[in-house]
Amino acid sequence: MVSRSPRSAGGRQRKASRCVSPQAERSNLYDTVTAKIIAQLEEGRLPWVQPWGRVDGVPGCPALPRNALTGRQYSGINILLLWGEGIAGGYSSQRWLTFRQALEAGGHVRKGEQGTMVVYADRFVPETERARVEAAGGEARAVPFLKRFTVFNVAQCDGLPGEMAYDPAPLPEREIIPLAEEVITASGVDFRIGGDKAFYAPGPDYVQVPPQPAFHDQINYYRTCLHELTHAVGHPSRLNRKLINSFGSKDYAREELCAEMGSAFLCAALGIVPTVRHADYIGAWLEVVREDSRAIFKAASQASKAADWLLARHAAASAGGNAGAGAQCAESAGGRVPA
């Protein structure tokens, strides 16, 4: 917290009190974003579920948010922030851009429209650290930072080119299911069908799900598969997350939060509307994010990386390339991960 100077301290002190250090600004951003997520969870509303608005009664197409001008896909916590605003604003599109980008594209943001905050995380080496390394040698220590930007949905703009103002039409389910099957196959994960429970076993490194007839809707089978695949991507040979956690522990809740968001991101990328698989975990997730304002950032980042890893494998397999470039190695695993 940045303390205020007394009102009687004079103009110079009052001006100085408004200067916020990068560390304080970073903390404020974490707190601001986490407070939004907590408020949604307390309402029983998950920011990664059903984030598509309706226009004239027609639902929007499930999609990951993208920059309307550059085509770049937003990732991590920004997906949750933009999906949340998509719900609040009733926007059918998941295309966003800055005020200047709207002008650059030949349009403009309508007067009175409120923007949405997104954040950019990176690292930089301060000049003092560069000087220290030049004088004493060693490796420069980079400092993490968060920067905020304001973006607007294309529905808040006028005059944009037609191709920028609308998302592509959703694929019919008969075309989505083969894509989901391709993602499962391209993952390279040992995938077993049988039993009456869905889970990922990190020791032997395999996913098991019940056969499709056990699910009321066929699409729910694929939602479940994508959830378990998100767990599997955390294996040491892939993205190396901590997978061995005691049931009911905070680490267990963190991994389940990652898998819930990862499967939602994958569903959106494939055109499948995500649903809630474990609403009973909301209390545990609330405890985790209330305790650590960075927890939701980390979980969203890990979920985004898992989804990207699986989609990259699929893209490489579809192109006939080598999909194994994402493999990483580190500590061993065993036991069982939450379904």
293 in any annotated domain: yes
Give the residue, 239 or 33, on which the prediction is more confident. Answer: 239
What's the pLDDT at 50?
58
How many domains are contained in the chain?
A: 2
What's the pLDDT at 330?
28
Mean pLDDT of the chain: 82
What's the pLDDT at 269?
92
The verdict on 153 and 192 lying in the same domain is no
240 in any annotated domain: yes
The model's confidence at residue 168, banded by pLDDT at 50, 70 and 90, is confident
Residue-wise pLDDT for 264-313, tens only, equals 999 999 988 877 666 678 888 999 999 999 999 999 999 999 999 999 99
The verdict on 246 and 181 lying in the same domain is yes
The verdict on 194 and 243 lying in the same domain is yes
The model's confidence at residue 27, banded by pLDDT at 50, 70 and 90, is low
Host domain of residue 55:
51-165
The verdict on 281 and 241 lying in the same domain is yes
What's the pLDDT at 135?
84
The verdict on 151 and 201 lying in the same domain is no
Give the residue, 228 or 248, on which the prediction is more confident. Answer: 228
23 in any annotated domain: no
What's the pLDDT at 238?
96
What's the pLDDT at 305?
96
One-letter-per-residue 3-state SS of the chain: CCCCCCHHHCHHHHHHHCCCCHHHHHHHHHHHHHHHHHHHHHCCCCCCCCCCCEECCEECCCCCCEECCCCCECCCHHHHHHHHHHHHHCCCCCEEECHHHHHHCCCEECCCCCCEEEEEEEEECCHHHHHHHHHHCCCCCCEEEEEEEEEEEHHHEECCCHHHHCCCCCCCHHHHHHHHHHHHHHHCCEEEECCCCCEEECCCCEEEECCHHHCCCHHHHHHHHHHHHHHHCCCCCCCCCCCCCCCCCHHHHHHHHHHHHHHHHHHHHHCCCCCCCCHHHHHHHHHHHHHCCCHHHHHHHHHHHHHHHHHHHHHHHHCCCCHHHHCCCCCCCCCCECC
The verdict on 91 and 182 lying in the same domain is no
What is the rounded average pLDDT of the residues 16-22? 45
The model's confidence at residue 321, banded by pLDDT at 50, 70 and 90, is low
Lowest mean pLDDT among 57-66, 141-150, 187-196, 233-242: 57-66
The verdict on 157 and 238 lying in the same domain is no
The verdict on 159 and 209 lying in the same domain is no
Give the residue, 185 or 62, on which the prediction is more confident. Answer: 185
